[in-house]
Amino acid sequence: MDNLATIILAGALFIIMLGMGLSLQMADFKRIVLYPKAIVIGLTNQLIVLPLVGFLIAVCVPMQPEIAVGIMILAACPGGPTSNLISFMAKGNLALSVSLTALSSVITILTIPFIVAFSSQYFLDVGQEVQLNILQTIGQIFVIVVIPIVIGMMIRNWKPDFATKMGKPVRVASGVVLALIIIGLVIKERANFGAYLEQAGIATFLLNVITMSLGYFSAKIFRLSTPSAISISIESGIQNGTLAITIAVVMLQNTSFAIAPAVYSLLMFLTGGVMIYFFNKKA
């Protein structure tokens, strides 16, 4: 992608993370004391189980190396604002969902560079692998994730009414920009998109469904309430696709790595919709 597209993508992620910050309070980070078991189970699913499942899918399902790296980038990312919305609509524990999103967004700043570096070395041929400066990458992710969240939280603290009013417009704007980004990726990779779509569609669907299932049943095994199990399921399976696309395009300078996150960003609304329908009907 050219420099203009890169700037637009980075700006889109900034808006999305700012929107997340507008919905957060310091209390969301303090809930680890209120929900210690649920937080630990949720973070274990997100930070350990999710990347492991992503790796197994990337190894076992036939796919291009670029798609495999994209799957791993996606699996390394935290949940996003969409997971909070789906949790709310599926009658999950919204406070737990928001807390898990906030905590994982901070923790994955440290884990993403290592997972990306490993997957690049494992799946790409010698000479193709991405040479990452770990500290620099951590700094870049910090700037595009944490800073807008902090700004959003400060605005909410100082101007709560304004933050509430801006919540919906920011979500709509971020959704529109994400759609435009996906269209741009399809156009850029149109020569390979058919083959990529088949491979990425199967892999991302498996990643989504398997991790959501593991999240739900692991919560139930530890006797958490159904609303908490719903939130852990969604946080385990609905990732921040825009962050994954940004890492692929802006940091790694490779649009092929962004195909899997782009396909996933569409599929997650389908599976999220099924979750919303099922648990509302059950309720």
Max alpha carbon distance in the chain (Å)? Answer: 54
Q: Does residue 175 register a pLDDT over 70?
A: no
Domain chopping of the chain, boundaries: 3-277
215-270 residue pLDDT tens: 999 999 999 999 899 999 999 988 888 888 888 888 888 888 888 888 888 788 88
Q: Which residue has the higher pLDDT, 216 or 86?
A: 216
List phi, psi (to 5°) of 126: -60, 130
Q: Which residue has the higher pLDDT, 177 or 240?
A: 240
Predicted local confidence at residue 98, as pLDDT: 82
Q: Does residue 173 register a pLDDT over 90?
A: no
143-157 residue pLDDT tens: 777 788 888 888 888
pLDDT band at 194; cut points 50, 70, 90: low
What mean pLDDT is reported for the chain? Answer: 82
What is the mean predicted confidence (pLDDT) over 57-77?
Answer: 91
pLDDT band at 170; cut points 50, 70, 90: confident
Alpha carbon distance 85, 97 (integer Å)? 9
Please, is 185 exposed, middle or buried when counting C-beta atoms within 10 Å of its C-beta (0-12, 13-18, 19+)? buried
113-142 residue pLDDT tens: 899 889 988 888 755 566 667 777 788 788
Q: Which residue has the higher pLDDT, 220 or 17?
A: 220
Predicted local confidence at residue 230, as pLDDT: 92
What is the mean predicted confidence (pLDDT) over 67-92?
Answer: 86
Q: Does residue 54 register a pLDDT over 90?
A: yes
Which of the following CATH numbers is that of domain 3-277: 3.20.20.20, 1.10.150.120, 1.10.1740.10, 1.20.1530.20? 1.20.1530.20
DSSP result, the chain = --HHHHHHHHHHHHHHHHHHHHT--HHHHHHHHHSHHHHHHHHHIIIIIHHHHHHHHHHHS---HHHHHHHHHHHHS-B-HHHHHHHHHTT--HHHHHHHHHHHHHHHHHHHHHHHHHHHHHHSPTTTS----HHHHHHHHIIIIIHHHHHHHHHHHH-HHHHHHHHHHHHHHHHHHHHHHHHHHHHHTTTTHHHHHHHHHHHHHHHHHHHHHHHHHHHHHTT--HHHHHHHHHHHH-B-HHHHHHIIIIIS--GGGGHHHHHHHHHHHHHHHHHHHHHHHH-
Q: Does residue 1 register a pLDDT over 60?
A: no
What is the mean predicted confidence (pLDDT) over 26-33?
Answer: 70
